[in-house]
């Protein structure tokens, strides 16, 4: 199976329409084709095709895909319907992508993944889960949207994700009476981007004044010169091989590298805020720390199997300070994932119903924070109550790093 993701950081550029047409054209070339509508929050497959079908979920076999004229389809719009709102925690999006990949009978030559706008969790999950079969991503851009186009290509360059090419949608409008061509959204930028990022410019797709009517009838087919562009994209897809070995490890490493760097900054700032806002004598009294008692923190990845940051602190010289390696022997160690730490600092957790306020102690009570060391539990509880529940300290950290921490919730 070859996987092609259709991607853009900007919404409304026509990813779904292009994904549908690419899948249909591949089917016309006698390939077995699958289509994953991965825009879970705003799945448009049912609306664009006017399909009133169902993806069934079997507890043993997994998802039974919908057969759309011989194309296997997964879309949240075929599970939740066209009107129900979807807003899930980040982990659930990752789980959905993984389960769809591994618990669905795709059995296809090509899988087209229609990604949501942006470069967040679904983008990362899709690229990572399908890494072994990924050929590359097809980038959809719009004239004049230079910043958005640069962002999506920089994103692919940063994560070393191969690019099939650029398709510039809505690049021109031809008058049906006089034959004159206009650029209602501005001058096309595909050639400049192609030269800047050394990726193929596959061409443009003009505005179709009848597309609204086509959507209402469930036939959003691209015609004319736009069809030539899509066939050019498919010709390139056929030529490309799957991603070279090592891509997945590099992708994971870059994600973790960015989190690790941010986490070091956040931790350093927390310690500065503690020293500014809490008297050391109060820390000693409330937590039981002593000059001789170091505490080792292990910040883990989402799976809690890889250590991102390890550091030790001790009250010394009237301040809370980070110790240099090798750390002195400590019977007090705290293990916590970066996501749980972010939730404790922000005092919030994402749920299916949106953001919910939470008490930092709850994470220890429910096993998300593991404290190692006999007799150390009371000290850990005091630490949560006096540091992570202290508004002076946490508000200062939120003001400085709230946007970063909010992405980890």
pLDDT tens digits along 148-184: 899 899 888 877 888 999 999 988 887 666 666 777 7
Question: Which is more confident, 32 or 330?
Answer: 32
pLDDT tier at 110, thresholds 50, 70, 90: very high
Torsion, Cα 83 87 91 95, to 10 degrees, reads 0
* CA 149 vs CA 7, 138, 188, 191, 392: distances in Å: 11, 12, 12, 12, 41
Task: Kindly report, as residue ranges, where domains of CATH 3.30.1050.10 are found in the chain.
Answer: 251-408
Of the candidate ranges 105-109, 132-136, 241-245, the one whose mean pLDDT is the lowest: 241-245
Task: Kindly report, as residue ranges, where domains of CATH 3.40.50.300 are found in the chain.
Answer: 2-244
Which homologous superfamily is 2-244 in?
Answer: P-loop containing nucleotide triphosphate hydrolases (3.40.50.300)
Mean pLDDT of 82-110: 82
The DSSP bridge pattern shows strands 163-169 and 134-141 to be parallel
Sign of CA dihedral 334, 336, 338, 342: negative
Sheet holding 134-141, edge to edge: 66-68, 71-75, 33-37, 110-114, 2-7, 134-141, 163-169, 201-205
> What pLDDT, in 10s, does the model give residues 269-295?
887 777 777 666 665 655 555 556 678
pLDDT at position 139:
95
pTM of the model: 0.64
Question: Which is more confident, 208 or 69?
Answer: 69
Question: Which is more confident, 336 or 386?
Answer: 336
Of the candidate ranges 85-89, 338-342, 344-348, the one whose mean pLDDT is the lowest: 85-89
Phi, psi (deg, nearest 5) at residue 368? -80, -20
pLDDT at position 72:
94
Q: CATH number of the domain at 251-408, out of 3.40.50.720, 3.30.1050.10, 3.30.70.270, 3.40.50.1820?
A: 3.30.1050.10
- Least Cα distance to 193 among 142, 146, 161, 240 occurs for 146
Residue 143 neighbours by CB distance under 10 Å: 20
Strand partners, 173: 182
Structural Rg of the chain based on CA atoms: 25
């Amino acid at each position: 199976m070859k996987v092609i993701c259709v991607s853009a950081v900007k919404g409304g550029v026509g990813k779904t329409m292009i994904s549908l047409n690419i899948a249909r054209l591949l089917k016309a070339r006698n390939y077995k084709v699958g289509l994953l509508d991965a825009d879970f929050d705003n799945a448009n497959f049912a609306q664009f095709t006017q399909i009133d079908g169902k993806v069934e979920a079997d507890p043993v076999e997994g998802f039974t895909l919908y057969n759309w004229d011989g194309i296997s389809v997964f879309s949240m719009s075929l599970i939740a319907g066209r009107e129900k709102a979807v807003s899930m925690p980040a982990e659930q999006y990752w789980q959905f992508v993984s389960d769809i990949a591994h618990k669905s009978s795709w059995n296809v030559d090509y899988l087209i993944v229609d990604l949501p706008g942006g470069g967040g969790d679904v983008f990362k999950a899709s690229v990572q889960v399908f890494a072994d079969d990924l050929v590359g991503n097809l980038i959809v851009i719009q004239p004049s949207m230079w910043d958005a186009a640069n962002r999506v290509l920089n994103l692919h360059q940063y994560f070393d994700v191969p690019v099939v090419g650029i398709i510039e949608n809505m690049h021109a409008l031809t008058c049906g009476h006089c034959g004159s061509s206009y650029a209602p959204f501005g001058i096309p930028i595909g050639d400049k981007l192609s030269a800047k990022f050394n990726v193929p410019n596959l061409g443009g797709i003009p505005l179709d004044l009848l597309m609204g009517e086509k959507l209402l009838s469930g036939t959003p087919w691209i015609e004319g010169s736009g069809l030539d562009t899509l066939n050019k994209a498919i010709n390139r897809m056929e030529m490309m091989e799957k991603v070279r070995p090592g891509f997945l490890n590099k992708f994971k490493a870059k994600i973790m590298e960015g989190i690790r760097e941010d986490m070091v900054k956040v931790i350093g700032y927390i310690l500065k805020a503690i020293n500014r806002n809490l008297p050391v004598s109060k820390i000693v009294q409330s937590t039981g720390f002593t000059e001789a008692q170091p505490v080792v923190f292990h910040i883990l990845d989402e799976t809690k199997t890889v250590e991102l940051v390890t550091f030790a602190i001790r009250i010394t010289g009237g301040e809370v300070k980070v110790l240099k390696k090798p750390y002195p022997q400590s019977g007090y160690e705290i293990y916590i994932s970066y996501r749980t730490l972010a939730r404790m600092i922000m005092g919030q957790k994402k749920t299916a119903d949106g953001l919910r306020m939470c008490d930092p102690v709850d994470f220890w009570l429910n096993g998300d924070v593991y404290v190692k060391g006999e007799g150390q539990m009371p000290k850990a509880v005091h630490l949560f109550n006096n540091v992570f529940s202290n508004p002076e300290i946490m508000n200062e950290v939120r003001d400085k790093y709230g946007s970063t921490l909010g992405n980890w919730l």
